[in-house]
Amino acid sequence: MTCREFIDFLDDYVDGALPIAQRHFFDEHLAGCLDCQTYLESYKRTVRLGKLALADGDGPVPADVPESLVRAILAARRGHR
Amino acid sequence: MGASRVYPQSSEPADADLLALLRAGDASAFEALVREHTPRLLAVAQRFLVNEADAQDAVQDAFVCAFRGLAGFDGQCKLGTWLHAIAVRACLMKLRTRRRRPETPIEELLPQFHADGHRVQPGPAWGESIDQVIQRQESRELVRRCIDELPDSYRTVLLLRDIEELSTDETAKLLGTNTGVVKTRLHRARQALRTLLDPYFGTPSTAGREGDAA
């Protein structure tokens, strides 16, 4: 197995979606490849960073919503009644 | 709307009272609804659309859609959850119809390989723990900006799968595509985001430091 093949199927590997027979080859490659160990770790961190940066309650909720937007929404309601 | 996200099974009393007023056509109830939910819906729309004017348009479209659909709202979830789902669909509609913005081709952000299958220029290990990194506001903003840089079709899948926590099937149905495309785009989006973050987190001494995020 090459690094390209490992990375091509990394999502299935991380998600545990690989059949056991295939997973054996991935485990074997990973055990002997420092580059892929590094890539795998940073890939998993990327997914977690994305989730944490945009998690509900922590996402950038605008403090001040433009009054023009609120007015436009309410006007649109009146227009569609 | 997510498969794994936990939502309350019934609306709260405050929602029930507000809903009754909305269905009665109470103007002040509509204004209260809009003022309460617009900030979070705008934040959702900004994630999907990046462009502020487009995000505002999508929020307005979502509310108009919600006002029309109030009679059909069954109260099985919170009003906010219902509005969130409508806003996501409004964003996807906006993405389909707006002019494409200039963006970096995804291929430039994917790992490159030599003919023998080994990576070209494998990067350094990421030094800091996620917990250390994410505690810093500038790091969170940096991650958000990098997500914003992803091409629309990839950022959308990343948001639906990793942030909205929809299943691959649900995402495919919303986007009118198949599960294979969703899986491929998600994997590429994660790889591209990793590439964009690599310069900041790949070296411990520079991870998320102030000024780098600018």
Domain parsing of chain B, residue ranges: 13-97, 106-206
| Count of all residues that appear for chain B in the document | 214
A9 in any annotated domain: yes
Residue B209 confidence (pLDDT): 42
- Which of A42, A47, A74 is the closest to B162 by Cβ? A47
Question: Mean pLDDT across the stretch B15-20?
Answer: 86
Does residue B3 belong to the interface with chain A, where contact is any CB pair within 8 Å?
no
The whole model's pTM is what?
A: 0.84
Closest by Cα among A14, A8, A3 to A45: A14
Whether CATH 3.40.50.10800 fits B13-97: no
Q: For the range B194-197, what are the long-range contacts, defined as Cβ-Cβ under 8 Å and sequence gap of 24 or more? A: B194/A39, B194/A42, B194/A43, B194/A46, B195/B109, B195/B110, B195/B111, B196/B109, B196/B146, B196/B149, B196/B150, B197/A42, B197/A46, B197/A49, B197/B142, B197/B143, B197/B146
Burial B83-100 (b: 16+ CB within 10 A, else e): bbbbbbebbbebbeeeee
The residue among B139 and B191 whose pLDDT is bigger is B191
Q: How many domains does chain A have?
A: 1
Whether CATH 1.10.10.10 fits B106-206: yes
CA B121, B125, B129: angle at the middle one, nearest 5? 150
Q: What does the pLDDT look like over B47-88, one tens digit per residue?
A: 999 999 999 999 999 999 999 999 888 888 889 999 999 999
Residue type, A18: L
- In sequence order, the β-bridge partners of residue B119 are B113
The answer to whether residue A10 scores a pLDDT higher than 50 is yes
- In sequence order, the β-bridge partners of residue B113 are B119
A68 in any annotated domain: no
Domain with A21, as residue range(s), is: 3-60
State how far residue A5 is from chain B, nearest Cα, in angstroms. Answer: 8
Residue B128 confidence (pLDDT): 75
Contact yes or no for B190 and A63 at CB 8 A: no
Distance between CA B213 and CA B79 in Å, rounded? 36
Contact yes or no for A76 and B63 at CB 8 A: yes
| Count of all residues that appear for chain A in the document | 81
Please state the ipTM of this predicted complex. 0.88
A21 in any annotated domain: yes
The answer to whether residue B3 scores a pLDDT higher than 50 is no
Distance between CA B192 and CA A42 in Å, rounded? 12
A10 in any annotated domain: yes
**Residue whose structure tokens are 């906010």:** B80
Q: How many CB atoms lie within 10 A of CB B26?
A: 14
Q: What does the pLDDT look like over B157-207, one tens digit per residue?
A: 999 999 999 999 999 999 999 999 999 999 999 999 999 999 988 865 444
Please report residues of B whose CB lies closer than 8 A to that of A4: 113, 117-119
A70 in any annotated domain: no
State how far residue B59 is from chain A, nearest Cα, in angstroms. Answer: 8
A36 in any annotated domain: yes
